[in-house]
Structure 1
């Protein structure tokens, strides 16, 4: 077969057998490029982008790579280092082996995708259709154009069901259809490529890098902003309305805005062909300073590695799937209602929020077997609690496009005074902060309905960077966590302390629990108390629970059968950390009064500041008083109780004989 090769040395044609090894192609390339560095040799099926190091293709045949008769390959390389230049021609196999040693071979094959990606890759995603009574004239076991399944990217189906964006896997199917001869081999090059708007350094032609020089080989192409045809997440599902209500409680009590990270997992979303939804199980609130019109947040937050590692050990492994923040302002006339601030005449996502979302998405890429780098896009969702037109509160969910992330990574855009407008930065030729800004355009329809192309400098609408994500709550909520009482990082508002922890355990009588018991009321109360993400994450900071036992605690706390199965708590009760926690509770917790004990209580009820002989004296006097009167009944007239030590005083007077405080 004939293979065409284009490089900076010119255009060439070579004859190969389909089963020829990639080393044969490398040998021909090294013949026409005498100064090529084998370690930097790349091939691509596009003039720019999608380059793959030949070192990652060692041992592959041209046919297995999808190279067919007449294909045009684009070759790039860097010159050899001066000290390694040699007059002898390197052996192609040795060049491939030398370049491949120590390098990640085929990184897209090493990507560890999410289980939801594995699920969709095992299915074709076709949309089934029933028999059409008007046009289908065939038998029950036959199929025609009117009833055959549709592809997951079928435009008519998406228009009919008002689906604005393709799902991530439907988009991959559109780029690389399963029926294509070039993609039937598992060795096909991945169809996705990350956008890059940076100047390529060093330039393949060898001239000094920007800002000293630039050419068409290293400068980025002009950018035309357009709506992204796909989205990485199609739906945001909050596992329970209580999660949002508990998060909103901080704003309701203080009027200050609040931020939280969304902890959850990904599942298939069947309302969209090959769709993916993010299911939120908890909101973890990092340290922050809330204000009436905004908030201050530190990134990265100190506890992030611990929280991410702990969340992996839930019964359903969890991760950070996005973040949520409030933008709520009460109406001046009626403070029970909120202002309607985000609408078509204002903005939906401000320019500052869009740039922040791009930063977060860049820091959390999605592993992908369909990208040459092993990563593509991000599934981090931006959720906003904002006022509705009727004065209520609702959730709005968004992502920003891959173009937005690439522009932020290239330091091309910045926020403006107008929240609905994004500014394009000026070009910078200084050595320390060199910035090249290519031409940026966007399209819109004018008042005559005609599509117009306009330059985006110096500013353009933020809507060109947004991707809408639907949201909602399940009809039958089954959250992993049943409680949310001890929420973190709310100083002065809620008490997340060891003292409250011990008090709750003592009130449940947790130290009395034994493994193997049935589902008693006491066990049910403990199960409901333990099923709390905020509580379990706080236990990890008390130094009372070991790191290994923390995994056991979280698995039990997130178990779907925790409130039904009596044995679900046994894994927690039998750990050493639980015994340590119970010992701490017995020593530090409040004593339980006994019905048979005298009013004074035992030694555990004594005030340590009062000598023991005083307790004995008062006990004798109360015993004598109880035996006096008709029928041995103690006279109740004149009994007064001290509010400090709770002892009864039957001898009159206005002050306590023990502590001297006024009697009630």
Structure 2
């Protein structure tokens, strides 16, 4: 039967059965309500009066309530004032009750990134010097030398800049004289059906649809702007260290780019992502791909750790390898990604869109307070001459909106995206509007063509330039510590940390200006390693305050010139505990005969292992539970407890 509902949200018709519980009807009503408090929901058979709270009708079916086919029910409710705005976890959410009280709107309360605050204080004008056409004095200005707007088309064409920077694009959209009634010029794309329909004249999708609630036809086009203009790797060592796993195994690798965003002056009002480290999550590499979980278990802790650096860091993107040596020469790699093939596969583009959707940029220029994403996709792949190079991309806002609306999917051919069919089933309702793309035919004429059933993936891509700094000054100066989540290839352990500290005579290094300056400098260089800091943060030996002291010392850009930056770390409880274990190693080692070169468990007595584990267990951590033995043939650490090496198979 059909029950008609009238509320402040409009008129609705719901298909229900007479023996349905009242909760079925309540669920349909709440789906059409805006932020309703279920406890305040009431129904009545008349516009005013006789309101009955639905909480008092629990367990009753619609027939027992006297409802029949075609009945009109009047609904009222109170908004859920205590609810928070649905804002991403990267920003501080403000209760909606506070917004209503102060009259604040989402774009007025959002906290923008540092690089956005910087560009909002600049006019972005492109300076030009005097030319031979100028007829005025040194203090004059004319049409030939006056500064250009940051979005000037001729300048971008002359300098081969394909996309406007985000802030240059904003300057183009935003009026010069804004007032308190300023309306944000940006609105995130949304290709989903509006539920409920704004007109309230029909049941919600998939039961009904009209021009007011359906998405308009989509014409794919090159995005005129980009959120990130340049990807800068702080040091070549970062990439080289990442590639070592592939070089040793031939299996593809994935890593998250840890870094920050800075102004980029090579393009007007540009933004660059500066990468300081690559953190590798748990993954299963294969010769032609890899598998990993997103989000991964340690993501929240890694994000929090990155924020504590001397210059706050975050995840600015991700990188993966797509390398395949040529059959003729194993030192060279296949040239897979090129104009006649593909740059980013349809599967990779959909993956990028999914991640960009989950990492929006806070923006005062968007009606929702968020717009776009600065997450960069980087690929290490073979070049035309067989070498290895980086390619960097983002996907467009159209790509993100299409993935969010479940409209597209990957195809067998990597350079082609498939448009899904419409689905009106209740379980997987999907509305797909008409999709078109433009291209130039063999006569040079622009032609509009339907994108169903497929279209080239290039229509979703935004190019990002990349490079290395001329004068490198990475925050993390060491790349010697073993990298996480490389089991069998590089295994991290507290025992390995203690052994290195013993070599550095770390227990003898004291705060202040006393002691061996060169020894303290060597310790400072060794500590300045992202992978070491990330590992020690998981051992439970360091408290949150001690971890903060550790990463701030490790990431201090001036540490080698001011070794006093180590003092807070050297005085911390976590460091003192680590030094106690290191001292015991030193005293125990002097009474033991020297072990084989590289042998870990031969020169660290088992009782020290036990003390480390007891300390970790007492502080709530699991610690390292297995003995580590290094194979004398392939030098790989073994923790499985067997008699043969888990990599080469030879006796340990």
TM-score by length of 2: 0.76
* Alpha-carbon distance in 2 for matches of 1:606, 1:462: 56
1:638-663 superposed Cα distances (whole Å, 9 cap, x missing partner): xxxxxxxxxxxxxxxxxxxxxxxxxx
Kindly report which structure 2 residues correspond to 1:134-533, keeping only aligned pairs within 5 A, or say none.
134=133, 136-178=134-176, 183-206=177-200, 207-484=202-479, 485-517=481-513, 520-533=517-530
1:569 aligns with 2:566: yes
Q: CA deviation at 1:522?
A: 1.2
Q: CA deviation at 1:524?
A: 1.6
**Contact 1:545/1:581 (<8 A) preserved:** no
1:547 aligns with 2:541: no
Q: Secondary structure at the match of 2:490?
A: coil
Q: Name the structure 1 match of 2:630.
A: none
Kindly report which structure 2 residues correspond to 1:45-60, keeping only aligned pairs within 5 A, or say none.
none
Q: Secondary structure at the match of 1:357?
A: helix
Q: Name the structure 1 match of 2:130.
A: 131
Q: Secondary structure at the match of 1:563?
A: helix
1:323-375 superposed Cα distances (whole Å, 9 cap, x missing partner): 00000001111101111100111000000000000000000000000000000
**Contact 2:115/2:262 (<8 A) preserved:** yes
* Structure with max Cα Rg: 1
Residue 590 to residue 224, structure 1, CA distance change in 2 (3 Å)? farther
Report the more deviating stretch, 142-151 or 77-86. Answer: 77-86
* Alpha-carbon distance in 2 for matches of 1:416, 1:590: 63
**Contact 1:503/1:589 (<8 A) preserved:** no
* Alpha-carbon distance in 1 for matches of 2:135, 2:253: 61
* Alpha-carbon distance in 2 for matches of 1:195, 1:323: 24
Q: CA deviation at 1:132?
A: 2.2
Q: CA deviation at 1:78?
A: 13
**Contact 2:511/2:571 (<8 A) preserved:** yes
**Contact 2:422/2:432 (<8 A) preserved:** yes
Q: CA deviation at 1:564?
A: 2.1
Q: Name the structure 2 match of 1:560.
A: 557
**Contact 2:524/2:563 (<8 A) preserved:** no
Q: Secondary structure at the match of 1:196?
A: coil
Residue 233 to residue 430, structure 1, CA distance change in 2 (3 Å)? same
Unmatched 5+ residue regions in structure 1? 1-34, 41-76, 88-94, 610-664
Q: CA deviation at 1:593?
A: 4.1
* Alpha-carbon distance in 1 for matches of 2:593, 2:296: 53
Q: CA deviation at 1:184?
A: 2.1
* Alpha-carbon distance in 1 for matches of 2:151, 2:431: 36
**Contact 1:234/1:469 (<8 A) preserved:** yes
Q: CA deviation at 1:571?
A: 1.4
Q: CA deviation at 1:177?
A: 3.4
* Alpha-carbon distance in 1 for matches of 2:128, 2:224: 24
* Alpha-carbon distance in 1 for matches of 2:421, 2:593: 83
* Alpha-carbon distance in 2 for matches of 1:451, 1:82: 57
Residue 527 to residue 447, structure 1, CA distance change in 2 (3 Å)? same
* Alpha-carbon distance in 1 for matches of 2:337, 2:498: 45
Q: Secondary structure at the match of 2:371?
A: coil
* Alpha-carbon distance in 1 for matches of 2:150, 2:483: 42
1:168-223 superposed Cα distances (whole Å, 9 cap, x missing partner): 00000111132xxxx42143010000000000000011110111111110010000
Q: CA deviation at 1:528?
A: 1.1
Name the count of aligned residue pairs. Answer: 522
